[in-house]
Chains A and B, each alone.
Chain A
Amino acid sequence: MSRGLWDRETVALLLLAALMPMAMLWLWYGGAAAFGRLWLALLVAGAWHLLFMLARAQPPSFAGALSALAIAMLAPVELGPLRLALGISFGVIAGELVFGGWGRNLVNPATVALAFLGFGFPAAPWPDLLAPLAWAAIPAALIGLAAGVMPAGVIGGALAAGLAAQAAAPLPPGIWIAASVALVLLVADPVASAGTRLGRWLNGALYGGLVILFAHWWTGAAPVQIAVAAALLASLTAPLLDEAAIALWLAQRRRRLGQS
């Protein structure tokens, strides 16, 4: 991904462009409060990127804006700026910058920040996402897929799991909205998701499966909380799924070509 036009920032900008329909809609409905949250998230994430550039010569990335957007949209409400800033700082530093910047991180920094805020302040209510956001997630995913910056297998696997579950036992619409928004914002991330073809399908299916599991048996959890927890576990499992896919490929190859 570093030939000609295709460097890291191109991918980040295309991802930002893909998320624009959703972001615009969210800002349109959220009004001044949404603008305030997004502004704070951008400011904090940008400040840390700048600091790491000065202290460790790590090039800052537009991916900071991606994390800021995801955190602003999904973070628990009524936290106040100070605690929100603490969560964003933790996510951006421990999730991304200590590893050397975007592209080397293991987990999406926004997922880390959201999980931190969720565990740290369990009393804060999670946001209610509006139904139009889920519809806006469809063009976002389509733009991302068309530009080749979102992994198709992850989205396909999650959709397959979701549709299968819907056929067996319908999920509440709130879960569908939260899960699809989190799928586009957090899970379908070219860095933190699985890298092999089979691994990506498994990763998406695992995310979908976890959402279904939590939706049915996690009593008292908000839809966004369920989606964030599933996204965290799915992205932590991504390296294992890749490893399994590679082991499977090696075993097939050995069977076909004989020992050598």
Chain B
Amino acid sequence: MTRRFDLWATLTDPLIRQNPVTLQILGICSALAVTTSVATALTMAVSLTVVLTLSAGVISVIRRHIPDTIRLIVQIVIIASLVIVIDQVLQAYFIEISRALSVFVGLITTNCLVLGRTEAYARYHPPHHAMVDAFGNGLGYSLILIVIGALRELLGKGTLLGQPVLPLAEAGGWFTPLSLMLQPPAAFFLLGLAVWAIRSVRSEQAEPPQSAELVRKEPGE
């Protein structure tokens, strides 16, 4: 480490510029599945951020003692232990939300975002750097989850965190819920639109055209 550690940049880069969900398209399985309401999205976001930060810290502490050949197994054991703790806490204190999240808390173990950060960053950096990086990535994931969850709950049910926001047509208001928003395709649409919006503003994130040949040969329309 010759470069000075920039704590602020490590923390804030993953929010938009290096966002794990919209740039690296990591962890979208759970991001799509649990965003039908803000409450579940928020719980999932907090759980993942806690697991990610703690596992990055633990793995970073023992990074010089993990044999390379079995490093994935060691990492998964550490992550899985933390996930079980979180799952038990949720079942003990928030049983409703735990039921709504069903298997997805357990599946944090296999979330590519967690394994991606521990494998790519925590193995090579001291604990406090690794934890700041993991926390920033957790926040970036949370940001996307909460934005999509809020949009889906607002447009699909007219509520936010269970509180009515838009007056429903059934109760004399003007808003008719868009039930498509509560179905899985809506999460794809919203995530796609979010990626599109971010890449339009930050054009350095856009991928190069896959087929340069095709682009060149087309005559001016």
A-B contact pairs, 25 of them (CB 8 A): A2-B219, A2-B221, A7-B221, A8-B221, A59-B221, A83-B176, A86-B178, A90-B189, A94-B189, A94-B192, A98-B196, A103-B221, A116-B180, A119-B179, A119-B180, A119-B183, A119-B185, A120-B178, A120-B179, A120-B180, A120-B181, A121-B176, A121-B178, A121-B179, A122-B179
Please indicate the chain A residues that have their CB under 8 angstroms from the CB of B179 in the complex: 119-122
| Complex Cα–Cα for A116 and B178 (A) | 10
B186 to chain A: closest residue by CB: A120
Beta-carbon nearest neighbor of A101 in chain B: B221
A233 to B19 alpha-carbon distance, docked (Å):
34
Closest to B185 in A: A119
0/1 string, A90-119, CB within 8 A of B gives 1? 100010001000010000000000001001
**What is the predominant secondary structure among interface residues of chain A facing chain B?**
helix
The residue of chain A having its C-beta at the shortest distance from the C-beta of B196 within the complex is: A98
Measured CA separation A121–B156 after assembly (Å)? 11
Contacts of B185 in A (CB 8 A): 119
As a 0/1 sequence over residues 37 to 69 of chain A, the CB contacts with chain B under 8 angstroms (1 = contact) are: 000000000000000000000010000000000
Extra A-B contacts (8), CB below 8 Å, given A94-B192, A119-B180: A8-B221, A83-B176, A119-B183, A119-B185, A120-B178, A120-B180, A120-B181, A121-B178
Interface code B173-195, partner A: CB below 8 Å = 1, 0 otherwise? 00010111101010001001000
The tally of residues in B whose CB lies under 8 Å from a CB in A reads: 12
* CA–CA, A122 and B183, complex, Å: 13
Max chain B Cβ within 10 angstroms of own Cβ: one of A8, A120, A121? A120
- Bound form: Cα–Cα A119–B185 in Å: 10
Taking Cβ atoms with an 8 Å cutoff, the residues of A that contact B are 2, 7-8, 59, 83, 86, 90, 94, 98, 103, 116, 119-122
Kindly name the residue among B178, B181, B221 whose own CB sees the greatest number of chain A CB atoms within 10 A: B221
**Bound complex: CA of A2 vs CA of B221, how far in Å?**
8
The chain B residue with its CB closest to the CB of A122 is: B179
Tell me, in angstroms, the Cα distance from A45 to B178 when the chains sit together: 21
- Residues of B127-185 whose CB lies within 8 A of A: 176, 178-181, 183, 185
In Å, the complex CA distance between A120 and B221 comes to: 36
Kindly list chain A residues whose C-beta atoms are within 8 Å of the C-beta of B180.
116, 119-120
A59 to B183, CA, bound (A): 34
Chain B contacts for A119, CB-based, 8 A: 179-180, 183, 185
CB distance from B42 to the nearest CB of A (A): 25
Give A86 to B185 CA distance when docked, in angstroms. 16
Q: How far is the CA of A7 from the CA of B219 in the complex (A)?
A: 11
Q: B219 — which chain A residues lie within 8 A by C-beta?
A: 2
Q: Which residues of A contact B178 (CB under 8 A)?
A: 86, 120-121
A121 cross-chain contacts in B, Cβ below 8 A: 176, 178-179
Give Cα distance in the complex from A90 to B180, angstroms. Answer: 13
- Residues of chain B within 8 A of A120, CB atoms compared: 178-181
B167 to chain A, nearest CB (A): 14
Bound state CA distance, A98 and B192, in angstroms?
Answer: 11
**B residues near A86, Cβ cutoff 8 Å:** 178
B196 contacts across to A, CB distance below 8 A: 98
A7: nearest chain-B partner, CB-CB? B221
Nearest Cβ on chain B to A92's Cβ, whole angstroms: 14
Q: Which of B179, B180, B185 gathers the greatest number of chain A CB atoms within 10 Å?
A: B180
Give Cα distance in the complex from A122 to B196, angstroms: 28
CA gap between A86 and B178 in the complex, in Å: 11
Q: Which of B178, B185, B189 has the most CB of A within 10 A?
A: B178
A91 shortest CB reach to chain B, Å: 12
Chain B 64-91, CB-CB to A under 8 Å as 1, else 0, gives 0000000000000000000000000000
* Chain B residues with CB below 8 A from A2, complex form: 219, 221
A120 to B183, CA, bound (A): 9
Residues of A within 8 A of B176 (CB): 83, 121
Residues of A within 8 A of B192 (CB): 94
Q: How far is the CA of A7 from the CA of B183 in the complex (A)?
A: 40
Bound-state Cα–Cα, A119 to B196, Å: 23
| Alpha-carbon distance between A94 and B179 when the two chains are bound, in angstroms | 19
